[in-house]
Structure 1
Amino acid sequence: MGPVDTAQSLTGVILLVLWLAALGAAIFALIHAVRQRPDAFTAVDKMTKQIWLAILGVAILLLLIAPFSFGLLAFIAIVATGVYMADVRPKVDEVQRGPRW
């Protein structure tokens, strides 16, 4: 096994770990969205719960279609999951939990 083979196998392992992390985050986001009240999404001026469930479901499908490849489909799925996790999820949680003092 030469240095090129070692580099390729290392790259494969790194891509696998990144793909698993992206898939795990998308699944976590979908489970989170399923467990929230529908009115919480509209209360914080975000798209409806059904739309977010569809977006996150498609994101998971896109990641499963092309495993281990980070092409355009995977990029779209990662961005959609990131938007939910960074923007929607905190606001939905806050509106259901109430203000913190």
Structure 2
Amino acid sequence: MFEIHSFLDLIFFVLAVAAFGMCAWALFHAIRTPARAFAMAQKLSKKLWLLFLSLATLFTFAAVVGYAGLTAISFFTIISVVASGVYLADVKPAVGEIGRGGRGGNNGPYGPW
């Protein structure tokens, strides 16, 4: 078990868990997205995003459990959050549009009619 020695330790632990959740969510979405959607959206390949997001999830998990001295404010954890943030803010909406077939045609606000 681990002991939380101060309020700041608790805050950094919660930040590490949130970073891990964000990276895991991005990785799960990338796994479920077809590879052709990345190419059609003119983004990096699915394999490259899976590599980035897998490493990001690994580093943030290490920050949660405190492995090898990694914390919520370590260099690798911050880079992992940035990579996942780029995926979720830029790539996920672009490949999502491809999967839904765009905004034109017989699509309503919540999907096809």
Flag whether TM exceeds 0.5 (same fold). Answer: yes
Which residue number corresponds to residue 36 of structure 1? 33
Post-superposition offset of 1:65: 3.1
Q: Deviations over 1:32-80 (max 9, x none)?
A: 0000110000111101111100100011112233336111111110110
| Aligned pairs (5 A) from 1:31-70 | 31-67=28-64, 69=71, 70=73
Contact 2:16 2:63 in 1 (8 A): no
4+ runs of 1 displaced by more than 6 Å?
none
Q: Find the partner of 1:97 among 82, 97, 100.
A: 100
Unaligned runs of 5+ in 1: 1-7
Q: Name the residue aligned to 2:107.
A: none
Answer yes or no: is the 8 Å Cα contact 2:60–2:80 preserved in 1.
Answer: yes
Moved more, 56-65 or 46-55: 56-65
- Number of aligned positions between the proteins: 94
Partners of 2:92 and 2:102 lie apart in 1 by 15
Q: Give the superposed CA RMSD.
A: 1.4
The separation in 1 between residues aligned to 2:34 and 2:20, in whole angstroms, is 24
What TM-score do you get using the length of structure 2 for normalisation? 0.77
Unaligned runs of 5+ in 2: 105-113
Partners of 2:35 and 2:76 lie apart in 1 by: 28
Q: Name the structure 1 match of 2:79.
A: 76
